[in-house]
A and B are shown apart, each in its own frame.
Chain A
Amino acid sequence: MPIKNKPKLTYAEVTPKNLYFNRRNFLRGLSIAGAATVVGERFASILSQPGSIQANSKLVTVKSNYTVDEKVTSENDVTHYNNFYEFGTDKGDPAKNAQNFRTSPWTVSVEGDVKTPRKFSMDEILKLAPLEERIYRHRCVERWSIVVPWIGYSLSTILKFVEPLPKAKYVAFQTFYDAKQMPHSYNTGLDYPYVEGLRLDEAMHPLALLCVGMYGETLPNQDGAPVRMVIPWKYGYKSIKSIVKIRLQSSEPSTTWNRQAPNEYGFYSNVNPNVDHPRWSQATERRLGEIFMHKTLMFNGYADQVASLYNGMDLKKFH
């Protein structure tokens, strides 16, 4: 793919505006925390202000090796073209209907077959490890794709923190659900809360990103605020949004789309141009912002990193 308008600076290299204007607070914060261990600091919690629309606090990030050198999709497209059925099934619905979604306070329970199950506040999650900016390809099962500068760190960081027990073989995720805040979720054809899952070795793969932001800021509500998964070698619906529960377990977890249509959406759902969706081909995709289709890559272009996870597996059977 030709690289047009390649930015000279990455998001990570620019001092975020908020940080710049609050540099004294930042320095004070540094001295209180006592040092350079504080890498992710969150300023101006717009979230807690009533009537605020988007969670757009700047995030400080470090560079990452897990980044592709491709033209990033426009932020406006990524924030106005969403599949988040709890807020409506039209691509434009979540941007409208998720505006008042309350994402603070927020806790994520990490539980199940682990040595030290515990609940993490968003503050703790933001400080658990340095936040990295990673530019990933993201491919939806509906044949559109985007390239996004996500912010977060490997899911393995938090999993190692709670110490999985040997009997843990899978990780189950659950999205927040509140019918009152999500009235558009009725009659969308899915059961809620939305659930997803990974095999433990997939979850421990460094590319599996626990994501708290994009485009230099915290996640907008419609893109899965305040914390979501991004699994770049799988179809988009595996990258579960607005997570409240992460559970380690010995059995394969049930997943929402698999329940809805088992023949169309498998547990693995790896991007695979050779295994078609029963109703349409998966050989090509359309980048948002482009007219014509281009070829879809095996494991969405991440085959070198992840193909070994599936050695000896029939990828058609385990689609």
Chain B
Amino acid sequence: MRKFLAGKWAKVFVFLLSCVPLLVLIWRGFHSDLTANPVEFLQHQTGDWTLRFLIFTLCITPFRKVLNLPELIRFRRMLGLFAFFYVSLHFLTYLGPDQSFNPAGMFKDVVKRPFITVGFAAFVLLIPLAITSTAGWVRRLGGKRWQAIHRSIYLCAILGVIHYYWLVKSDVREPLFYGFLVGILLLWRFTEWLIKRRAAALAHTTAIRTL
């Protein structure tokens, strides 16, 4: 497992796997199998996969630490970029069929509809993260600052879940499920942060006592 994760084929494998949802949609498209409302189906599918890839990305750090598999970090950028790829497709299915590629009409809609506002905000917030995902940008920004900027993915995931929750009419089970997963992943980070802080405080007091 470790050897595979560290090897060069692992990235190719994860890349191909991440393309599968898109390939399935293309295949279904060629077989007229996109339901009676293909536009809505593509909107929902690309939206679902955006949320899923955001969650996969957020899983990397906890899984690395809990499973003691530091190699997993190799896939985080790719998964994050796939989230951005699927959200871009999601945005295009809205800008095109819904708004007839009319930016003025789109912005009116974005401002007026809270559920569109939060979805659009999450999309816009992901753009700088995608741009600064390269090693060059990590160097230019410095590790600390880069990390601070990229923490906004937490906000994107929360906004994505709200966007989904506000879309559905009465059956909130699926958006709540995604909300639950995002909640757990953020809670894990919060507890980690608390533990670290307490450890630091403890180290500080012991240091004073020994003086």
Contact = CB atoms under 8 A, between A and B. Distances in A.
Interface of A: 74, 76-78, 80-81, 85, 89, 91-92, 142, 144, 187-190, 260-261, 279-281, 286, 288-289, 291-293
Given A279-B166, A281-B113, A293-B100, A81 B171 contact: no
Contacts of B167: 279
Q: Interface on chain A toward B: helix, strand, loop, or mixed SS?
A: loop
Nearest to A83: B169
Contacts of A76: 36
Contacts of A85: 170-171
B113 A280 contact: yes
A286 B39 contact: yes
Given A89-B171, A293-B97, A144 B37 contact: yes
A189 B170 contact: yes
A85 B109 CA distance: 29
Nearest to B166: A279
Given A91-B37, A279-B114, A288-B36, A293 B170 contact: no
B35 A188 contact: no
A260 B169 CA distance: 9
Contact of B171 (A78, A144, A189, A280): A189
Contacts of A293: 97-98, 100
Nearest to A80: B36
B146 interface: no
B37 A288 contact: yes
B154 interface: no
Contact of B170 (A77, A260, A279, A288): A260
Interface string B103-123: 000000100111100000000
A138 B12 CA distance: 48
A85 B93 CA distance: 26
B109 A281 contact: yes
5 smallest beta-carbon distances between A and B, as pairs: A189-B170, A81-B36, A77-B36, A89-B171, A288-B36
A91 B100 contact: no
Contacts of B113: 279-281
A281 to B, nearest CB: 7
A284 to B, nearest CB: 8
A80 B35 contact: yes
A281 B112 CA distance: 9
A62 B109 CA distance: 45
A187 B39 CA distance: 27
A80 B167 CA distance: 22
Contacts of A291: 38-39, 97
Contacts of B172: 189
Contacts of A261: 169-170
A91 B167 CA distance: 15
Contacts of A281: 109, 112-113
A310 B38 CA distance: 36
B60 to A, nearest CB: 31
Contacts of B109: 281
A1 B35 CA distance: 23
Given A188-B170, A279-B166, A281-B109, A81 B35 contact: yes
B97 A142 contact: no
Contacts of B169: 142, 189, 260-261
A81 B170 contact: no
Contacts of B38: 291
B173 interface: yes
B110 to A, nearest CB: 12
Nearest to A190: B170
B39 A279 contact: no
